[in-house]
């Protein structure tokens, strides 16, 4: 089904850095408060140097015969009425200048942090995303973002102490029942983790319905009505679908929705949502990686979905 919104704001845009065009794709959102304690929204856009044309990835940077896929992150701040306050915070990967000159010192084909989620934890902006390490392997990085200085700090690759995959993606933050920062690593079984000295520590496995075998993390957890809410996704033969998952604060499964799409595109990706007020949801999603939309939903629309438990 199509999960229909009350209002859609098309935030798709393009920027040019070192002569390279970057297109807005997936983006995350978190709430922050300004100096007079008014709610504002910080959005992080993944700006990419490629387009999807006829289901093929067309990168606009090549070195020799290799496509180079680059992610630049752009932070945009909105006020409570969705008016842009600042859109000039751009985080440029250190290697980009050399890449733009055709120099690939580390022989990387993935540059920058992909699908970076932002999460407000005790008024600190935490980040988590995927990057390519020195062994050309995709791994998770985490750290902090400072809006005033527009800098990332404490960015480190996270070592998995209990599993070893070729590609690590889509880990998400959430707050547990005592407001500690935890991570969901996997959804079947549900694997709850913490981080210690840049190591991922498995805290517990929780049985989940077999339906979750192919579920992947999308959004970080949203604390709402003393519950943890997530939007997750599954990929069925290249088609992306989404569903809501709701837990109590001890991460006991309460319910999950039927799968849905936002607009019916083959590739849809959602890594951010929050509560606008007591009556509305904000959901951030991308279409074909290069269309960025913010949708506002009446919370009553959730009743249109079918729910299981």
pLDDT tens sequence across 198-222: 999 999 999 999 999 999 999 999 9
Asked if pLDDT for residue 46 goes beyond 90, the answer is yes
How far is it, in rounded angstroms, from Cα 237 to Cα 300?
A: 31
- Can you give the pLDDT at residue 34? 82
pLDDT single digits (tens) 183-196 = 999 999 999 999 99
- Can you give the pLDDT at residue 306? 93
Specify the CATH number of the domain 7-308.
Answer: 2.115.10.20
222: helix, coil or strand? strand
- Can you give the pLDDT at residue 54? 81
- Mean pLDDT score of the chain: 94
- Can you give the pLDDT at residue 28? 98
248: helix, coil or strand? strand
With a pLDDT cut of 90, the percent of the chain lying above it is 86
Asked if pLDDT for residue 35 goes beyond 90, the answer is no
With a pLDDT cut of 70, the percent of the chain lying above it is 100
How far is it, in rounded angstroms, from Cα 47 to Cα 71?
A: 6
Residues 118 and 46 sit within 8 Å (Cβ to Cβ): no
Task: Categorize the per-residue pLDDT at 106 as very low, low, confident or very high, splitting at 50, 70 and 90.
Answer: confident
Average pLDDT over residues 97-111: 92
- Can you give the pLDDT at residue 1? 87
State phi, psi for 299 to the nearest 5 degrees.
-60, -25
DSSP 50-68: EEEETTEEEES-EETTEE-
Whole-structure pTM value: 0.95
- Can you give the pLDDT at residue 167? 85
- Can you give the pLDDT at residue 190? 98
How far is it, in rounded angstroms, from Cα 253 to Cα 256?
A: 8
Q: Where are the domains of the chain?
A: 7-308
Both tokens of residue 270?
């959602």
Task: Categorize the per-residue pLDDT at 289 as very low, low, confident or very high, splitting at 50, 70 and 90.
Answer: very high
**Strands 159-160 and 199-206: what pairing?**
parallel
More confident residue, 176 or 54: 176
Task: Categorize the per-residue pLDDT at 136 as very low, low, confident or very high, splitting at 50, 70 and 90.
Answer: confident
Asked if pLDDT for residue 36 goes beyond 80, the answer is no
Asked if pLDDT for residue 8 goes beyond 90, the answer is yes
Residues 169 and 138 sit within 8 Å (Cβ to Cβ): yes
100: helix, coil or strand? helix
Average pLDDT over residues 39-50: 96
263: helix, coil or strand? coil
What b-and-e string marks burial along 154-182, b requiring 16 or more CB atoms within 10 Å of the CB? eeebbebeeeeeeebebbbbbbbeeeebb
- Can you give the pLDDT at residue 179? 96
243 to each of 60, 268, 277, how far by Cα in Å?
33, 12, 21
């Amino acid at each position: 089904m199509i999960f229909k919104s009350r209002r859609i704001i098309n935030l798709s845009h393009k920027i040019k850095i070192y002569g390279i065009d970057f297109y807005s794709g997936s983006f995350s959102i978190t709430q922050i408060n300004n100096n007079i304690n008014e709610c504002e929204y910080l959005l992080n856009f993944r700006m990419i140097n490629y387009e999807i044309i006829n289901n093929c990835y067309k990168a606009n940077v090549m070195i020799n015969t290799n496509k180079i896929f680059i992610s630049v992150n752009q932070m945009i701040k909105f006020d409570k009425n969705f008016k842009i306050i600042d859109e000039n915070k751009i985080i440029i990967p250190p290697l980009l200048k050399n890449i733009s000159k055709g120099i690939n010192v580390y022989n990387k084909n993935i540059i920058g942090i992909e699908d970076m989620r932002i999460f407000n934890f005790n008024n600190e902006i935490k980040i988590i995303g995927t990057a390519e390490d020195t062994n050309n392997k995709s791994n998770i990085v985490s750290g902090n973002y400072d809006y005033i200085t527009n800098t990332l700090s404490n960015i480190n690759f996270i070592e998995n102490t209990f599993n070893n995959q070729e590609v690590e993606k889509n880990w998400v933050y959430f707050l547990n029942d005592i407001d500690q920062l935890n991570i969901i690593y996997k959804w079947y079984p549900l694997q709850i983790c913490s981080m210690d000295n840049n190591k991922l520590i498995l805290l517990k496995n929780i049985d989940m319905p077999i339906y979750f075998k192919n579920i992947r993390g999308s959004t970080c957890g949203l604390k709402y009505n003393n519950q943890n809410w997530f939007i997750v996704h599954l990929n069925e033969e290249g088609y992306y679908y989404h569903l809501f998952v709701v837990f109590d604060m001890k991460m006991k499964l309460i319910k999950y929705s039927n799968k849905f799409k936002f607009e019916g595109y083959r590739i849809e990706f959602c890594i951010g949502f929050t509560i606008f007020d007591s009556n509305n949801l904000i959901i951030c999603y991308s279409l074909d990686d290069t269309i960025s939309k913010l949708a506002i939903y009446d919370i009553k629309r959730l009743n249109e979905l079918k729910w299981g438990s």
